[in-house]
Structure 1
Amino acid sequence: MARRLRPVDIDFVGTAPVRLVFARDVAASPERVFSALAEDVPGWPQWFSAVTLARSTDGGAGREIRLRGGTRFDETVLVAKGPEVYAYRVDATNAPGARALVEEWRLAPRGTGTRVQWTFAADGTAAFRWVLGLARVGLGRAFRDAVTSLDRRLAKG
């Protein structure tokens, strides 16, 4: 069953014991990328293959996310400053060992497109932190594939 995590704020992105940061350039504008991230939450499974369900909760102040394999997250949106930053904190999860988790998406103009940077900031048991270190390559690949898929989707209109 889901366990409550420590309620951290956006500053945790810079101070977390584990920080995994990935970046990729896409052709879509920051406004279009931000809209897909923050406003079309139910659309996430269409471009992020690890996500099987995504829905806004609490009038857009929260999110419910389910991943392949059964991991679940109940989240609070910390920052939705379009088109620059979208960040959320995990409040409850069934992921073992997690104690605090924030994900931040930063968007910056890059020519006619966007530089998308995703930071996965976490704390947990020693085993949890060790597993995240091992998962870095897989998370990076998942991010690249997801952002590439999102860019293709946005190009189609």
Structure 2
Amino acid sequence: MTSCATIETAGYIALETKSTIQVDSRLRERANWGDLPGQTFDEFVAMWERCTSEPEYIPPVGDSAKQAGERLSSFLTELAQKHPFQSHIVMVTHGGLITDFLVNTFPGDQLDLWHPNFIAVQSQLIPECSITTLIYENGQYQIADLASVEHLESIL
């Protein structure tokens, strides 16, 4: 996590769970508006959409969607190797990075079980403050829950 919003969110979780926060640059988005000097918001959105539709396209600043997904995969694999089986780890990041990971890790037909045409609508699937739960076992990831917002229902 690297943005102020993700650090703030992690802080609330850490306070509630009495855990500590570790910041890791691998949890950053593939690109952020403002990273490229002089880039308008519309130019950023066009760049983002191109990265989404062309996963190997490397933008003028940041990573391709494929690179971002591989970066998160590397981070998750490292965590899985450090912690015992059935550990619970909370990771706070942005939805774009999560979808980059999912699209680069799971076949499209498996993602379509969670949402029809997952790859085509991926930018709309991970709302703010949602929770995606993954299980890592025997070197393989499984999606246990995608973009759940049930925990927010009590405050709405």
Bucket of the pairwise TM-score, normalised by the shorter protein:
under 0.3
Higher helix share: 2
- TM-score normalised by length of structure 1: 0.24
TM-score by length of 2: 0.24
Structure with greater Cα Rg:
2
Higher RCO (CA < 8 A, seq sep 6+)? 1
